[in-house]
Amino acid sequence: MSLDAEISVAVGEFELHLDLDVADGEVVAVLGPNGSGKTTLLRTLAGLQPLSSGHITLDGRVLDDPAAKVLVAPESRQCGMIFQDYLLFPHLTAVANVAFGLRSRGTNKSEANGRALKWLGRMEVAHRAQAKPHQLSGGEAQRVALARVLATDPQLLLLDEPMAALDAGARGAVRHQLRRHLAAFTGACVLVTHDPLDAAAIADRLVIIEAGRITQQGTLKEITTRPRSSYIAGLMGLNLLSASASGTTIVLANGATLEAASRANGETLVVIAPQSISLHLDRPDGSPRNMWPTRVSEIHLIGDRARVLLGDPVPVAAEITAISLAELGLTEGSPVWASVKATQVDTFPANGGQ
Amino acid sequence: MAFLAVPLIGLLTKVSWGTLWQDLTTPVALDALKLSLVCSLWATGLSLILGVPLAWVLARTQLPGRNLVRALAILPMVLPPVVGGVALLLAFGRDGLLGRPLYSLFGIQFPFTTAGAVLAETFVAMPFLIITVEAALHSMDGRYEEAAANLGAGRWRTFRHVTLPIIAPSLIAGAALTWARALGEFGATITFAGNIQGRTQTLPLAVYLELQSNEGVAIAMSLALLTFSIVVLVALRGRWLGAIRR
């Protein structure tokens, strides 16, 4: 076990109590609503927020243990953190940002620069080495930040909402890139997010925290099938289908096919957000890549939203406004056309990213 | 508006442009000009050396009694400079609290020396640097420093390579204000250091003295001081705009 933490901390009125173990090479996603303590958790691991009680042990080394009066300073830990908006030093070029950590740990200038360039290369941003942070796109800045942290050879990698600073259009592609880059990391990794898609894409295991405590943990599939709180149920109201993929074509267990925008092969988990499924009374015009006729099996009204469960061939839930529901005049058993864009069909290897 | 502009116009109309160069190169004016530049630059340097660490302590530590320290550091800004001069005399004068041991042990004395003029200017001007830098440290995103620590940088390296460059525009603006204030210092200098040509007689002191005997030279030196002020204003304006643009 690489990271072994029993965390108890009070910041003002807020209290965080949880146990977290992360193995080497494992990526754990911590999901929770705003103010649930996600960022505080990362700050305690990085040493920016001391524990009130409990302990943090990384590879057998005690980093924080108030009872034993041990507290290792942030600069003496090997816990690389990607901050929410990356916090690249604005006055330094990309390569100087990456070299900063190496220089801080005593590497001489020319070697630090060489290694920084190599890391930028591995993150596929070597061509931006001389750019200042404000000249980088969100995705580039994220990769420079990742290079900057990985260059210091951390034993524990912490990511605080790494997708939050990106615009929605860039997220899908960046998510897959990040997943690829993290796969090469051999230490323990904790990712904080409020977006279940990030968690599905990147993490091996999910930990859900609410109001400073863990409410559920497990694999994405376990949590989606048996959500234990209303927050989790709402958060995980995603459509999750088992399938096998070859290229951009996905074949479901019952033989139905879907088209995705990104390529995959073999056993795959398909994730479709209910909001991205449109419903129509007639065969839709235009050319959504995925459309099929089906029947409404159930309708649940949640406030001004309606969750419409569809039957075969693609058993998914669509979420539309209550107004659209009324306009369509749907009831249980109504025939309906469903459509979804290929770009809204996300695929992930079924084994959770090992 | 007129109230602000008329005195300046008054000064400019009285300048005898024909003899300006002659007036500025009289021994009194040359000595004062040279001394003013030397003293004000020393005062700015001392303010940087003492003021920046103090501002950092005020902004970044939980030092008990911070508010008292801050009040003391800012006090010279609102204190009449003459009172500052008297206080300096009582502390660093030959019979002063610190002045006596300094003189008897090391033979160091401040009154009637250039060092005294530097000390007086520093005392009066340093608060400008402290408040500018402390404000910059407060408004800077402190998480940059956390990011630096996270990458393995100790406090000094973080300060030198992250904090300082990020607050550099404010630091330069603060230093320019400090320099301008030091250059114009009159009350504390004349009270503490005296008015000796070539040693403690800076431009403002020389202007005051020459106004009684040689108005032309006084006006020429006033014009020099006015020019310095305008240069600082223009330079700061560029700096501020630059800071906004970044």
Domain around A303: 241-279+288-349
Question: What phi and psi values does residue A21 have, to the nearest 5 degrees?
Answer: -120, 130
Cβ–Cβ gap B150/A90 under 8 Å: no
For residue A48, list chain B residues with Cβ-Cβ distance below 8 A. Answer: 146, 149-150
- Helix (H) or strand (E) segment spanning residue A260: strand A257-272
Mean pLDDT of chain B: 89
Compare all CA atoms of chain A with the CA of B168 and give the residue at the minimum distance: A91
For residue A91, list chain B residues with Cβ-Cβ distance below 8 A. Answer: 165-166, 168
Cα B231 versus chain centre, distance: 15
A182 and A265 fall within a common domain: no
Instruction: Indicate if the pLDDT at residue A18 is higher than 60.
Output: yes
Entry field: residues in chain A: 354
Cβ–Cβ gap A89/B166 under 8 Å: yes
Q: Is residue A235 in a domain?
A: no
Q: pLDDT tens, A239-290?
A: 777 788 888 888 887 778 888 877 778 777 788 888 888 888 888 777 667 8
**Residue A249 is which amino acid?**
T
Instruction: Indicate if the pLDDT at residue A7 is higher than 70.
Output: yes
Question: What phi and psi values does residue A36 have, to the nearest 5 degrees?
Answer: -85, -10
How far B146 CA sits from the closest chain A CA (Å)? 7
A213 and A344 fall within a common domain: no
Q: pLDDT tens, B221-235?
A: 999 999 988 888 888
Cβ–Cβ gap B157/A105 under 8 Å: no
Coil, helix or strand at residue A341: coil
How far A149 CA sits from the closest chain B CA (Å)? 7
A265 and A345 fall within a common domain: yes
Optimal mutation site among A72, A84, A104, A190, interface B, most CBs of chain B within 10 A: A104
**Nearest by Cα to B164 from B52, B41, B242, B62:** B52
Q: How many structural domains comprise chain A?
A: 2
A76 and A220 fall within a common domain: yes
The burial class, CB within 10 Å (0-12 / 13-18 / 19+), for A108 is: exposed
Cβ–Cβ gap A87/B153 under 8 Å: no
| Greater pLDDT, A132 or A296 | A132
Q: Is residue A147 in a domain?
A: yes
**Residue A72 is which amino acid?**
V
Q: What percent of chain A has pLDDT over 90?
A: 40
Q: B25 Cβ partners below 8 Å, 6+ apart?
A: none
Q: A16 Cβ partners below 8 Å, 6+ apart?
A: A7, A8, A9, A10, A37, A40, A41, A44, A212, A213
Q: Which fold has domain B27-245?
A: MetI-like fold (1.10.3720)
Q: Is residue A236 in a domain?
A: no
Q: How far apart are CA B185 and CA B206, in angstroms?
A: 12
A70 bridge partner residues: A65
Q: How far apart are CA A27 and CA B109, in angstroms?
A: 68
Complex ipTM above 0.85?
no
A72 and A165 fall within a common domain: yes
A266 and A315 fall within a common domain: yes
Q: Is residue A251 in a domain?
A: yes
- Helix (H) or strand (E) segment spanning residue A15: strand A14-22
For residue B168, list chain A residues with Cβ-Cβ distance below 8 A. Answer: 91
* Half-sphere exposure for A197 (CA within 13 Å, toward CB): 20
Q: pLDDT tens, B81-96?
A: 999 999 999 999 888 8
Q: pLDDT tens, B83-140?
A: 999 999 999 988 888 888 888 888 888 888 999 999 999 999 999 999 999 999 999 9
**Nearest by Cα to B223 from B212, B236, B213, B210:** B210
What pLDDT, on the 0 to 100 scale, is given for residue B245?
44
A190 and A260 fall within a common domain: no
Going from N- to C-terminal start, the domains of chain B cover 27-245
Peptide bond into A313 cis (omega under 30): yes
The residue with tokens 């092969």 is A265
Cβ–Cβ gap B150/A148 under 8 Å: no
Choose the weakest-confidence range: A49-53, A109-113, A165-169, A229-233.
A229-233
What pLDDT, on the 0 to 100 scale, is given for residue A333?
81
State the average pLDDT over residues A54-72. Answer: 92
Pairing, β A205-210 against β A213-218: antiparallel
What pLDDT, on the 0 to 100 scale, is given for residue A1?
52
How far A89 CA sits from the closest chain B CA (Å)? 7
Instruction: Indicate if the pLDDT at residue A353 is higher than 70.
Output: no
Tell me the two tokens of residue A337.
């056309």
Q: Is residue A354 in a domain?
A: no
What pLDDT, on the 0 to 100 scale, is given for residue A354?
34
Coil, helix or strand at residue B209: helix
Cβ-based neighbour number of residue A71 at 10 Å: 14
| Contact in structure between A254 and A312 (CB atoms under 8 Å) | yes
Cβ–Cβ gap A152/B152 under 8 Å: yes
Taking one residue from A and the other from B, the number of pairs with CB-CB distance under 8 angstroms is: 61
| Among A47, A90, A100, beta carbon nearest to B151 | A100
For residue B161, list chain A residues with Cβ-Cβ distance below 8 A. Answer: 100
- Does B162 lie at the interface with A, CB-CB under 8 angstroms? yes
Q: pLDDT tens, B2-11?
A: 888 888 888 8
Cβ–Cβ gap A75/B152 under 8 Å: yes
Instruction: Return the CATH number at A304.
Output: 2.40.50.100
A29 and A133 fall within a common domain: yes
Q: pLDDT tens, B138-169?
A: 999 989 999 999 999 999 999 999 999 999 99
For residue A90, list chain B residues with Cβ-Cβ distance below 8 A. Answer: 166, 246
| Contact in structure between B161 and B195 (CB atoms under 8 Å) | no
Q: How confident is the model at residue A22 (pLDDT cuts 50, 70, 90)?
A: very high
Helices and strands: H and E segment counts in chain A: 9, 19
| Contact in structure between A296 and A318 (CB atoms under 8 Å) | no
For residue A75, list chain B residues with Cβ-Cβ distance below 8 A. Answer: 149-154
Instruction: Indicate if the pLDDT at residue A186 is higher than 60.
Output: yes
What angle, 0 to 180 degrees and rounded to 10, lies between the N-to-C axes of helices B114-139 and B81-92?
Answer: 120
Rg (CA), chain B: 20
What pLDDT, on the 0 to 100 scale, is given for residue A225?
63
A169 and A248 fall within a common domain: no
Mean pLDDT of chain A: 86
Q: How confident is the model at residue B246 (pLDDT cuts 50, 70, 90)?
A: very low
Cβ–Cβ gap B147/A87 under 8 Å: yes
A173 and A295 fall within a common domain: no
What pLDDT, on the 0 to 100 scale, is given for residue A352?
44
Cβ–Cβ gap B149/A75 under 8 Å: yes
| Among A48, A105, A134, beta carbon nearest to B152 | A105
How far A67 CA sits from the closest chain B CA (Å)? 24
Instruction: Indicate if the pLDDT at residue B244 is higher than 70.
Output: no
What pLDDT, on the 0 to 100 scale, is given for residue B75?
92
| Among B151, B162, B166, beta carbon nearest to A148 | B151
Q: How confident is the model at residue A233 (pLDDT cuts 50, 70, 90)?
A: low
Coil, helix or strand at residue B2: helix
Q: How far apart are CA A75 and CA A38, in angstroms?
A: 21
How far A95 CA sits from the closest chain B CA (Å)? 14
What pLDDT, on the 0 to 100 scale, is given for residue A332?
82
A20 and A142 fall within a common domain: yes
A214 and A116 fall within a common domain: yes
* Torsion, Cα of A243, A246, A248, A250 (10° steps): -20
Optimal mutation site among B140, B143, B145, B151, interface A, most CBs of chain A within 10 A: B151
Compare all CA atoms of chain A with the CA of B155 and give the residue at the minimum distance: A75
| Contact in structure between B198 and B60 (CB atoms under 8 Å) | no
